[in-house]
Structure 1
Amino acid sequence: MRPQPLAACFALAFALTFGAAQADPSSDAPAVPTTPAPAVTGNVEAGRTLAYTCQGCHGLTGYKNAYPSYRVPKIGGQSSAYLTQALMEYRQGKRKHPTMQAQSMSFSAQEIADLSAYLSTLK
């Protein structure tokens, strides 16, 4: 059996998780109202530990890029809100970069908030 591509696995997991939660229009049961997830507050110290994965490309210490032929944006000192939005957009596929999409998928919402909180404190 040929293994499924990673994107197909994510699509299947998403459909199984969220597709089953939708109300069946032919059902007599009332739809359960959805409430937005509570805002996540970032922990700077937890973000410091997670940020090691960012340093290889974004070179936070002195901003030395590991890949000199490829322009990597400076993320140290960016606003927490911007960093959170960018990582979430990579997760959702709104921003296209394979490495960043993979990195963002490996973090939970809390870890993204932690990373954003820490990176925003750097100058």
Structure 2
Amino acid sequence: MSYVDGFVAAVPNANKTRYIEHARSAAAVFREHGALQVVECWGDDVPEGTLTSFPMAVQCQPDETVVFSWILWPSRSVREAGMPKVMSDPRLQADVNPMPFDGKRLIYGGFDMLLDE
């Protein structure tokens, strides 16, 4: 079964174009190292919660938008082999392709896929 890396971040609205450029560059690198698909979603209907919510989780500020992303891998073993290559790829180093958001508020995790219909 496929494996998914999921991400949630708060991106300054002023950085939307830079974020798209960053994401395109990163997607090419991920795909070169085994990912099947990279999906980036700009928040459109992401309500504030009272106990939990995406905006609360990433401490989203009024001038930011929540971004929801995932990377689809064929398997965890492909992800485990590919991720170190992605992280060390010179095209994704901070001095070449800096993240246009606060990486300290990025939430991420790896997930075994249970259902794909």
Category of TM-score, reference length = shorter chain: under 0.3
Q: Say which structure is richer in helix.
A: 1
TM score, norm. by length of structure 2: 0.26
The structure whose Rg is larger is 1
Report which structure shows greater RCO (CA 8 Å, sep ≥6).
Answer: 2
Instruction: Give the strand-richer structure, 1 or 2.
Output: 2
Instruction: Report the TM-score when normalising by structure 1.
Output: 0.25
